[in-house]
């Protein structure tokens, strides 16, 4: 199992929902959209995956890249959480 799958399953358990490895975001608890990315090279893809969701949107990333990801999404409404689902940067509701 990949690091991506490990993180997605851990966050899905935390929010008492399922991990969706198919199209769309990886974890979809009520009131949130969470996309898991494990590499800085795929952050742009993660941001693209979050497009169109009306709920607060989060990128879940390993702690080692979290500071860089927070810098990358600084001027967006996307939030950042660590690999355990702890919110590091709160998301702003899209469209506000």
- Find the domain containing 51 and state its range: 3-89
Is 94 domain-assigned?
no
Judging by DSSP bridges, how do beta strands 57-60 and 33-36 pair with one another?
A: parallel
What pLDDT does 1 receive? 63
Query: Cα-atom radius of gyration of the chain, to the nearest Å?
Result: 12
Is 96 domain-assigned?
no
Is 44 domain-assigned?
yes
Is 43 domain-assigned?
yes
Confidence tier at 96 by pLDDT (50, 70, 90): low
Name the nearest CA neighbour of 28 among 2, 62, 56.
56
Is 69 domain-assigned?
yes
Separation of alpha carbons 45 and 35, rounded Å: 10
Residues in the chain: 96
For 7-66, write each residue's pLDDT tens digit: 999 999 999 999 998 888 999 999 999 999 999 999 999 999 999 999 999 999 999 999
* Other Cβ atoms closer than 10 A to 15: 15
Q: What is the count of structural domains for the chain?
A: 1
Is residue 88 pLDDT above 90, yes or no? yes
What pLDDT does 93 receive? 85
- Tell me the mean pLDDT in the region 72-92: 96
């Amino acid at each position: 199992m990949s690091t991506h799958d490990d993180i997605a399953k851990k966050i899905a358990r935390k929010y008492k929902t399922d991990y969706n490895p198919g199209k769309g975001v990886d974890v979809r608890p009520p009131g949130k959209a969470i996309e898991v990315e494990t590499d800085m090279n795929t952050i742009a893809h993660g941001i693209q995956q979050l497009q169109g969701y009306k709920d607060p949107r989060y990128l879940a990333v390993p702690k080692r890249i979290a500071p860089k990801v927070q810098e990358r999404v600084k001027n967006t409404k996307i939030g950042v959480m660590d690999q355990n689902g702890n919110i590091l940067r709160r998301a702003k509701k899209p469209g506000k």
